Chain A
Amino acid sequence: MQIFPRSSNNIARASLVIVAVVVAALGWVLWELERTPYVTNAGVRKPQPVPFSHQHHVTGLGIDCRYCHTSVEVSSFAGIPPTKTCMNCHSQIWTNAAYLEPVRESFRSGKSIEWSRVNQVPNFVYFNHSIHINKGVGCNTCHGPVDKMPLMYQQESLQMEFCLNCHRAPEKYLRPREQVFNMRYEQPANNPLHRNLVSVNGHDYDDQIELGNALKDLYKVRSVKDITSCNTCHR
Chain B
Amino acid sequence: MATQTPIPVEVPKEDQRVPVIEPGHSFATIGEKVSNIVLRRPVSLGWVFGFLVMFSGMNMLLFALGYLFMKGTGIWGITIPIGWGFAIINFVWWIGIGHAGTLISAILALLRQSWRNSINRFAEAMTLFAVACAGVFPLVHTGRPWLAYWMFPYPNSMNYWPQFRSPLIWDVFAVSTYGTISLVFWFVGLIPDLATLRDRAENPIIQKVFGLLAMGWRGSARHWHRYETAYLLLAGLATPLVLSVHTVVSFDFAVSIVPGWHTTIFPPYFVAGAIYSGFAMVVCLAIPIRAVYGMEDFITARHLENSAKVMLATGLIVGYGYFIEAFMGWYSGNTFDSFLLWNRLHGPYAPWYMSLLISNIFIPQLFWLKYFRTSTFWLWILSLVILVGMWLERFIIIVVSLHRDFLNSSWGMYYPTKWDWMTYIGTIGMFLTFMWLFVRVLPMVSIAELRTLLPEAHVHEAEEVHK
Is A155 part of the contact surface with B, judged by Cβ < 8 Å? no
Contact A161 B216 (CB under 8 A): no
Q: How many residues of A contact B (CB 8 A)?
A: 15
A35-B208 contact in complex given A1-B199, A9-B216, A12-B216, C-beta closer than 8 Å: no
Is A34 part of the contact surface with B, judged by Cβ < 8 Å? yes
- Count class of interface residues, chain B: 10 to 19
Is A3 part of the contact surface with B, judged by Cβ < 8 Å? yes
Contact B160 A160 (CB under 8 A): yes
Is B159 part of the contact surface with A, judged by Cβ < 8 Å? yes
Residue of chain A at shortest CB distance from B209: A3
Is A229 part of the contact surface with B, judged by Cβ < 8 Å? no
Contact A159 B157 (CB under 8 A): yes
Contact A164 B156 (CB under 8 A): no
A159-B158 contact in complex given A1-B199, A3-B198, C-beta closer than 8 Å: yes
Shortest distance in angstroms between A28's beta carbon and chain B's nearest beta carbon?
11
Contact A161 B158 (CB under 8 A): yes
A3-B157 contact in complex given A8-B216, A9-B216, A12-B216, C-beta closer than 8 Å: no
Complex Cα spacing A31 to B222, Å: 43
Interface residues in B120-175 by Cβ distance below 8 A to A read: 154-160
Contact A12 B159 (CB under 8 A): no
How many A-B pairs have beta carbons closer than 8 Å: the answer is 29
Interface residues in B181-217 by Cβ distance below 8 A to A read: 198-199, 207-208, 211-212, 215-216
Interface residues in A154-186 by Cβ distance below 8 A to B read: 157, 159-161, 164
* Chain A positions within 8 Å of B157 at CB level: 34-35, 157, 159-161
* Chain A positions within 8 Å of B160 at CB level: 160
Shortest distance in angstroms between B462's beta carbon and chain A's nearest beta carbon?
30
Contact A3 B156 (CB under 8 A): no
Is A4 part of the contact surface with B, judged by Cβ < 8 Å? yes
Partner of B208, one of A3, A9, A164: A3
Shortest distance in angstroms between B212's beta carbon and chain A's nearest beta carbon?
8
Residue of chain B at shortest CB distance from A157: B157
Residue of chain B at shortest CB distance from A27: B154
Complex Cα spacing A8 to B158, Å: 45
Complex Cα spacing A175 to B228, Å: 68
A161-B207 contact in complex given A3-B198, A12-B216, C-beta closer than 8 Å: no
B binding-site residues for A, Cβ under 8 Å: 154-160, 198-199, 207-208, 211-212, 215-216
